Structure 1
Amino acid sequence: MTNTAPLLRIGKSTSDLNKRQKEFNLLCEKIAKLDEQIPELENARDEIIRRIPIDLNPLVMEYQGIRVDIIHLMDRTYEADLYRKIYLTKLSYLITEGAFELIANYGFDELKPVYNKYSEIDIEKALLLASQQPEKVTDPAFLLEEDNPIVAEFPENFHEWDDAEQQRYKEERRAEKIQARIQKAKQQLDQQKTTKSVRTVYMDLVKAFHPDRESDEAEKVRKTEIMQRVTLAYQQNDLMTLLKLQIEFDQIGEEHLEKLTKNQLNYYNKVLSQQIADLEAKKEVVQKEISALCGLPYQHINSYITAVVKFNSNVNEMKSEIKNIKLVYKQWKTPSVLKAYLKTYQIPNEVHSDDDED
């Protein structure tokens, strides 16, 4: 929820403030901005996660389905024996590489017989070998930390499941990974140590509002609600909110902030700086989550609009890619057009020789 409380600051004008007072005001402004920005980014992240299976995944699968059609087209072209050996070798390579990726990553098991036709290794053995070699996962939902690649782990019989079961398992894994990352970030923030200055303000509020010795039931309820807010702010090491609560409930006046001593301001500014660091870390976690989901560098993600516009752009780009690959598929149905592509294509790590081509 966005923080709508008045901005905490010392004095009405900056002209009469000393260096530490100006720093206090600047730190409070930064915290207020982060308190608004983080929920906005969290909303963007949640919106993108909600929309991926609705707006993006169907397009991705449509695109991959056309790739399957192209593999079958290449298979038929190979069997027609229209090209010289060098072109057929390239076709065979493209068929096995494309078929394996579509089987392993998207569950198109219909391509297994095609793969086996052109590969020296049976598809089941190839999948087993691949599963024994840890690889960086390319699914955006798993890429929540750049520095810690996550290994894809699937049950042994995963490739024996039907498409619906595989898709459901992948979506469950995706949700679990996202929630685990979010929970880890929250735990890290919760473990931040409170400081002496925060505890001092907290104890002043506890003395004033602890409900246990209150005989009036209505007042007891009021103080209990206040203490819940106080305790939450204390647990979050949130000095600014604690000071706001003191002002809100007339424990101190705003003029009290103007009378803070040099040492008190030093303590407060140090705590507020740490609070900013904590909030910046929390913001960065959310930024990186969004970056993994939509591909925008996390440093550029500072608003809901920026994140959602980028995701919308990804959806539109996917639609454009579908149009392009449909055109390629249509063109490659003409053997001479496919041959022209094969002429310029080079198998990775193979020496190219023009003498072998006509």
Structure 2
Amino acid sequence: MIKQIAVERTLLAAWQSITPLFMQKHGSELVPLLQAYEAHRTEMVRLLDKHYTDKLFTKRDRSKLEDILGTMSDDLVTEQSDDELKHIFEKYNDIDFDSVRAEQNDMMRVAMEEILGKELSDDFDPNSPEQIQQHIEAAMRAEDEARQAFQDSQAKRKKSAKTLEKEARQADEAQHATQSLREVYRKLAGALHPDREQDDDEKVRKTALMQRVNAAYGKNDLLQLLELQLEIEQIDPAQLNTLSDERLKHYNRILKEQLAELRAEIDDIEFSFKMDFNIPPFQPLSPTELIPTLERDIADFKLSIEQIKAQLIEFENPKAVKTWLKNYRQAKQPSNLEDIFMDEIRF
């Protein structure tokens, strides 16, 4: 149990230290690149749309441009409130943008209502991660409250002899566990009480240790109290192997609660992080990989920006567009600009 807690403590510390660093680096380095990249993509859409009617292009060329502009404008107009982009989207997709988005929002609303098990208000925005997170957290709280209400109602019912016996045993175990915690605390307090120390330097050291003892006891942190006992050599590590089964049982009960609290705290941090950055809830994440992954994304976007900037200059000439279109594979049906301008025209 102590080893498991040590692992979870390390993981929690990693999340707590990496998250603010990631958010700062993401906001100061990646977000400006994303914005610049989106601006260049928008410029590319407008440029290709301007060339579309050029007499240089054949019917086949225009068919390819329709595919490209339909896909690119769809990706961009979703993120921007731009009437010109909306017009380009409708021009090359032959559908009404507002109707499509309303239908998609209705589908997302239905999906969220099925997940949450309740109807959502008219002002709910299915495209808002903040609102989705708020509704999920509210649903979780409601579920916890309903579970507690059920448990309370069950507690009011007449209990069987077996149930009473089980509750008495659990209460007895809890009492013993508390006593075990209290015993460790008393031993530490007796050894570290600064008022009993005459040496000034030793009194300062014991005062600091006693503050740690009080903090650990206030949180029912048995593990920290045991570690403090080892630190001041109040117990030998080998002594833990000689504890009675009953004492170990009480220690493990407290440690199990600490482990559950640690895991719940980690889950909360990870869930909030995924919601903030639109990451699927079941996708595994390692805090140690966040910064390296972010740095790779930053490097990739810097390269992509340089590529699309060069392509914009080249594509001012419609002949360059026509040459590029010869190698464009229309059947590929690219899903976004990366497929079009990172695979097809990589230098």
Structure 1 and Structure 2 fold alike (TM over 0.5): yes
* CA spacing shift, 1:116–1:35, aligned 2, 3 Å: closer
Contact map agreement 1:233 1:241 (CA 8 A) in 2? no
Residue 233 of structure 1 corresponds to which residue in structure 2?
Answer: 219
Tell me whether 1:261 sits opposite 2:261 in the alignment. no
Match of 2:178 among 196, 199, 206: 199
- C-alpha contact (below 8 Å) 1:201/1:242 kept by paired residues: no
Q: Deviations over 1:275-306 (max 9, x none)?
A: 445535644664576678598x9767254xx4
How many angstroms apart in 2 are the aligned matches of 1:294 and 1:259?
A: 50
The correspondence of residues 86-165 of structure 1 with structure 2, limited to 5 A, is 86-134=60-108
Q: CA deviation at 1:116?
A: 3.4
Which of 310, 332, 337 matches 2:323? 337
1:3-18 residue pairs with structure 2 within 5 A?
none
Where structure 2 has 5 or more consecutive residues not aligned to the other structure, the ranges are 110-114, 149-169, 190-194, 196-207, 335-347
Contact 2:77 2:89 (8 Å CA) reproduced? no
Any residues of structure 2 matched to 1:45-56 within 5 Å, and which? Answer: 45-56=19-30
Residue matched to 2:310: 327
Deviation at residue 202 of structure 1 after TM alignment: 4.0
CA contact 2:216–2:222 (8 Å) conserved in 1: no
Counterpart check, 1:73 vs 2:47: yes
**Residue identity opposite 2:331 in structure 1:** Q
Q: Which residue of 2 aligns with 1:62?
A: 36
Q: How far apart are 1:49 and its partner, in Å?
A: 1.8
Q: In the aligned structure 1, how far is the partner of 2:55 from the partner of 2:34? A: 32
- State the distance in 2 between where 1:239 and 1:63 align: 52
267, 273, 286: which is aligned to 1:301?
286
Distance 2:272 2:64 in 1: 39
Change (3 A) 1:32 1:123: closer
| Contact kept in structure 1, 2:73 and 2:86, CA below 8 Å | yes
What is the CA distance between 1:56 and its match in structure 2?
0.9
Task: Quickly say closer, same or farther: Cα 1:154–1:111, change in 2 above 3 A.
Answer: farther
Structure 1 segments unaligned to the other structure (5+ residues): 1-26, 136-147, 159-168, 211-215, 217-221, 350-358
Q: In the superposition, relative to structure 1, how do residues 122 and 90 fare at CA in structure 2: closer, same or farther (>3 Å)?
A: same
Q: Deviations over 1:127-177 (max 9, x none)?
A: 323322319xxxxxxxxxxxx89xxx999799xxxxxxxxxx97xx55994
Partner of 2:8: 34
Matched position secondary structure for 1:254: coil
1:243-272 residue CA offsets vs partner (Å, 9 max, x unmatched): 456x4999x941574652133224424653
Q: How does 1:236-247 map to 2 (within 5 A)?
A: 238-244=221-227, 247=229
Return the offset for 1:336.
2.3
CA contact (8 A) 2:180 2:251 kept: no
Structure 1 window deviating more from structure 2 (267-276 vs 66-75): it is 267-276
Distance 1:282 1:248 in 2: 27
1:92: Cα distance to partner? 2.0
Name the SS for the 1:133 alignment partner. Answer: helix
Q: Structure 1-normalised TM-score?
A: 0.57
Classify 1:331/1:133 alpha carbon distance in 2 versus 1 (closer, same or farther; 3 Å).
farther
What code does the residue aligned with 1:128 have? A
Could you give the per-residue CA deviations for residues 70-126 of structure 1, whole angstroms, max 9, x where no partner exists?
111221121114333233233223223321321112444431232333343333333
- Cα distance in 1 for partners of 2:250, 2:259 equals 14
Q: Distance in 1 between matches of 2:46 and 2:121?
A: 27
- In structure 2, what is the Cα distance between the partners aligned to 1:228 and 1:131? 53
Q: Which amino acid aligns with 1:263?
A: E
Count of equivalent residues: 272
Check whether the contact 1:75–1:114 (CA below 8 A) recurs between aligned residues: yes
1:35-63: CA deviations, max 9, x gaps? 34412322201221233222111111111
The more displaced of 33-42 and 193-202 is 193-202
- Per the TM alignment, residue 232 of structure 1 is displaced from its structure 2 partner at its CA by 3.9
SS in 2 for 1:52: helix
Between 1:61-70 and 1:102-111, the stretch displaced more is 102-111
Report SS of the residue matched to 1:79: coil
Instruction: Return the structure number with greater helix share.
Output: 2
Partner AA of 1:53 in structure 2: G
Partner Cα distance (2:32, 2:122) in 1: 25
Percentage identity across aligned positions?
16
**What's the Cα RMSD here?**
5.0
Report whether the alignment pairs 1:312 with 2:270: no
Query: What is the SS of the residue equivalent to 1:80?
Result: coil
